[in-house]
Structure 1
Amino acid sequence: MDTEALSQDAVPPGATDDRPETSSRATRMLNFLREYAQGFLNSRLLDERRSLPPAMVSDFAEAGLLGLQIPRRHGGQDLSHADLNRVFTQLGAIDANLAVFCAVHNTLGTPPIVRSATEEVKGYVLPRLARGQALTTSAISEPGIGSHVRAMTTSATRHADGWYTLNGAKKWISLGGDARYVNVFARLRDEQGRPMGITGFLVDSRTPGFDIGPEMLTLGLRAVPQYDLSFRELRIPPSALLGVEGDGLDTAKAAFMAGRVVLAAMALGAAMRSLELAQRFAKGRTVATGSLAENGRIRQILAEAGAGVQAVETLIAQIAAREDAGEDLPDAWYFCAKILGCELGWSAIDTALQVLAARGYLDTNTVGQHFRDYRLFRIFEGSTEAITVYLGTMLVRNPGELVKLVDQAHPTAPLLRLADQVTQIGADRPDDAGGRHIHAAVVGELACWTLLTMVTSEAAHRSPMHAYTASWTEHQLEQRLRRARPAAHRDLPSPAEFAAHVAGYAGAIGDVDQRRWPGEEWRTDPLLR
């Protein structure tokens, strides 16, 4: 990587120690985004054209949105975690494509560089990222393994001259074909072939051997492409190393954990916007029973969706406050934000679509596009099911961790009794492998609802809606505790029995694979080469 000529305007004028508070910078960004949404944005065209507006990158960079937590000395905004959430909640309410674009660059791309690159590389790369002269992302997922980092096959070899050679492939990489700098994680071996552990490298995508594969045509988030990447004998200088050799898992984990809270913040914004539209519609819509807004059932489902939204807002606010206070939070808090933030956020969007009825199902309406775009958030950076099982497995193996989490929150006696029930369920571990997976999922989900119940109970005094949210959340936990039967998995059909059942569908639906779908030829004509 060429870092010889560092830009003299790396730090913009006025970026001195006497700088404005982070919240003022965040407020200016919110104002910019609201004006941008009203005056310049056409989400429908973004979706149809599968591309972002050409001027958007420079506009967002000028507003500071491409350097949200880059240090001020490198031209960034150095926002607090609380203000970072404010910005992403706003972005989420406007358009998922803009939100994910900013999230990938700011939470997956820049943090590994800020955390682990050399000072020389930081001084050259970070100002370019903050000014929008280059984009960045991280490449971890691979064909066949998704984000299961420990199953990674991409390899790096260290040579005697200190350089490295990278070989392998990555899949589903957001901005992978657009980013100039990609944090690539690979299994490192030394010149004798001895394993050195998973290691991160900051790779310039212009390097020979860096190949960009096809763009995935996704159901939603159409303007933020997902790419395949491949590396063939790609040579990397020693300066590209992120941190120390073998430290890649820690570097990747730090970025992904923070990114999970940001996902919850984006889903929160979309849920707020969707419920806002549903409430407007209900107030103006008259049905056979009268005003839709006065209909008891509609009031109930909107209130429950609103409680879920407020619960997530309270959760991520507490996480951010504790991070800004310098606390080192257990992973369970981040997993809880990802699981319940994305689940409850998308559930609120689904509720809004249902209330809007036929209007909600129109693809040209905001809620309809939210429905498609934010469905991915239940899968992004680990599916709900996979993360819930992982969290539950950790807590079952270390039962004291849940007790520690609960004790730190100083719960009331009723909440402590509910938490004790979760601990008891966690101790009743089945013997068979399938049962253990189901049991871990139950424990993981219960742990998340326990944390959510605790944070909402602490905020119950703030308003009538906060009191309702606390009561609703506690009721959700109680319901799940009643359903948590240790023997619930024993009536499942075996894998072979279920496979045979599905194979029987062929008799009802036949073979309907489409084998003659007309494709487009993109390869260069051999006679023109």
Structure 2
Amino acid sequence: MDTESRNQDALKAPTDDRPEPSSTTEMLRFLRTYAQNFLNSRLMDERRSLPPALIAEFAEVGLLGLQIPPDLGGQNLSHADINRVFTQLGAIDANLAVFCAVHNTLGVAPILLSATDEVKGCVLPRLAAGQALTTSAISEPGIGSHVRGMTTSATRNPDGSYTIKGAKKWISLGGDARYVNIFAGLRDERGRPVGITGFLADSRTPGFDIGPEMLTLGLRAVPQYDLTFNNLKVPPSALLGAEGDGLATAKSAFMGGRAVLAAMAMGASMRSLELAQRFTKGREVATGSLAENGRIREVLAEAAYAIQAVETLTARIATWRDAGQNVPDAWYFCAKILGCELAWKAIDTALQILGARGFLDTNTVGQHFRDYRLFRIFEGSTEAITVYLGTTMVRHPDEFTRLVHRTRPATAVLRLIDQVAEIGTDRPDDAPGRHIHAAVVGELVCWSLLASVTSEAAARSAMDGYTASWTEHQLRSRLRSARLGSQRDLPTQAEFDQHVAGYAHAIGDVDQRRWPAEEWRADPLLR
């Protein structure tokens, strides 16, 4: 395929003077002013809470109703503008970005997609106005990415209501949200399984119990809670979509959320790289200015290429969505995997360039380092999603072809993609080998998609050209590694257990016997 054959929409270079919806303009202006004059990220981190006035202020400019229709109090932003808002939020503070993302993508989106018109009319205006928050409850103590293994159950009652029992874990805003989208395995009145179903529950309903807050490494101002449902009874109107269609509702929200995660992480990596570049200009070393050091220039340029590649990818996905086109899951997985992995690597690079200053916990880059580490785990860990994606592509090779044909990559990239398809057919017979093979294929698929969108956009600017060349090189390098084969001669589980148990001889037993936690319960004599 000729390198001149490219989608015209991919060649349109973004410009600073392009027209914007007034709501987006106001949001970006507000966020920059808020960050400069009113935000104290360090204090927010130490207090493990958002500023008291934040919810009302964010709601006032539309940040809590990004895609809610205007007649229900929202902004109805395009996906392209959603990206701009979350990139800005991500550059300022991960806590603000995740707070808005959870509310808008995991909370509002399922309601918009699957709630009844009556429920939408009642709930969505409150959410847009900041009178209430919302989130989704899917993860459980015993399951992570394996959603079909959930044990939370719901039973349909003779009067049409539903009773929910079970527990959820790691629920962002779980203790703060008034409305929670609960997903559970439904059974009918006779106990027959119907399928995973979604319900919109008011957290003030009896039986909705909020557990402890998790003390996390980062993102401390957006708490993660345990939730328990003890015979929680919800009305028929709580149903999100049809019975048994809960996975479709949850999947739609989480796929959109994965693209948003990439946009947020991209903003943080941009900010981190900006600070690192400022530092190099003012830092003198033995060889002269750090900014003129060839090795430093190389690592900073590679970080910039990665950021540019992710920006091109997220913009492509948004363009398709705004045009009403269906976007295959693999594109969202690619955004989640490479968007979060490359962004965190760019943040790590910036921290390294800053030297001792980067290791200060009071430094913006240091906090980004802690906060955005979760993004490699959030909404499916990199390893789990990569193996899933690779397994899917191995089983359905034609799907990989269809994915690539959505773009018009350069001829050289197409040749590399053909090699990816060949590696996908070489599936091992043993189970561990298949897992490793799926991970390799999943990663190659992601880099194939990234190389496709960057190569078709290579002519937009000099930086786009450098980015396309870098992305192609990354794909080529990973293909070489894949052809060399993976190390599949693994120790047995028993051998490995015995080896790790031997560490006790070197390090002893160092489990800390913690002092009892703070006493928080009311004195019995005062009850």
TM-score (norm 2): 0.95
Whether 1:156 aligns to 2:136 is no
Stretch deviating more after TM superposition (515-524 or 81-90): 515-524
For 1:373, the equivalent position in structure 2 comes to: 371
Decide whether the 8 Å contact of 2:408 with 2:456 is kept in 1: no
Q: CA RMSD in A?
A: 1.0
Partner residue of 1:387 out of 385, 388, 393: 385
Decide whether the 8 Å contact of 1:439 with 1:486 is kept in 2: no
Q: Deviations over 1:360-394 (max 9, x none)?
A: 00000100000000000000000000000000010
1:404 positional shift: 1.2
Deviation beyond 6 Å, 4+ runs, structure 1: none
Q: Distance in 1 between matches of 2:514 and 2:102?
A: 37
AA of the residue aligned to 1:180: R
Decide whether the 8 Å contact of 1:135 with 1:181 is kept in 2: yes
Decide whether the 8 Å contact of 2:432 with 2:488 is kept in 1: no
Q: Deviations over 1:48-72 (max 9, x none)?
A: 0000000000000001000000111
Stretch deviating more after TM superposition (451-460 or 123-132): 451-460
For 2:504, the equivalent position in structure 1 comes to: 506
For 2:108, the equivalent position in structure 1 comes to: 110
TM-score (norm 1): 0.95
1:417 positional shift: 1.0
Q: Distance in 1 between matches of 2:491 and 2:349?
A: 33
1:486 positional shift: 7.1
Q: Deviations over 1:447-497 (max 9, x none)?
A: 000000011111111222111111110000000000014742322222222
For 2:125, the equivalent position in structure 1 comes to: 127
Q: Distance in 2 between matches of 1:203 and 1:150?
A: 21
Q: Distance in 1 between matches of 2:305 and 2:410?
A: 20
For 2:299, the equivalent position in structure 1 comes to: 301
Stretch deviating more after TM superposition (511-520 or 64-73): 511-520
Tell me, which stretches of 5 or more residues in structure 1 are unaligned? Answer: 1-20
AA of the residue aligned to 1:161: D
For 1:520, the equivalent position in structure 2 comes to: 518
For 1:5, the equivalent position in structure 2 comes to: none
Whether 1:447 aligns to 2:459 is no
Decide whether the 8 Å contact of 1:197 with 1:247 is kept in 2: yes
For 2:262, the equivalent position in structure 1 comes to: 264
Decide whether the 8 Å contact of 1:117 with 1:240 is kept in 2: yes
Q: Percent of aligned positions with the same letter in both sequences?
A: 78
Q: Distance in 1 between matches of 2:244 and 2:264?
A: 32
Q: 1:467-486 maps to which residues of 2 (within 5 A)?
A: 467-485=465-483
Secondary structure in 1 matching 2:204:
coil
Q: 1:400-439 maps to which residues of 2 (within 5 A)?
A: 400-439=398-437
Secondary structure in 1 matching 2:405:
helix
Q: 1:227-306 maps to which residues of 2 (within 5 A)?
A: 227-306=225-304
Q: Distance in 1 between matches of 2:231 and 2:20?
A: 43
Q: Distance in 2 between matches of 1:490 and 1:255?
A: 37
Q: Distance in 1 between matches of 2:60 and 2:22?
A: 16
Q: Distance in 1 between matches of 2:216 and 2:349?
A: 23
1:24 positional shift: 2.4
1:22–1:233 Cα change, 3 Å:
farther
Stretch deviating more after TM superposition (369-378 or 404-413): 404-413
Decide whether the 8 Å contact of 1:140 with 1:147 is kept in 2: no
AA of the residue aligned to 1:263: L
Decide whether the 8 Å contact of 1:121 with 1:239 is kept in 2: yes
1:407 positional shift: 2.1
1:148 positional shift: 1.8
AA of the residue aligned to 1:68: L
Q: 1:91-240 maps to which residues of 2 (within 5 A)?
A: 91-240=89-238
Stretch deviating more after TM superposition (491-500 or 460-469): 491-500
Q: Distance in 2 between matches of 1:282 and 1:114?
A: 47
Secondary structure in 2 matching 1:484:
helix
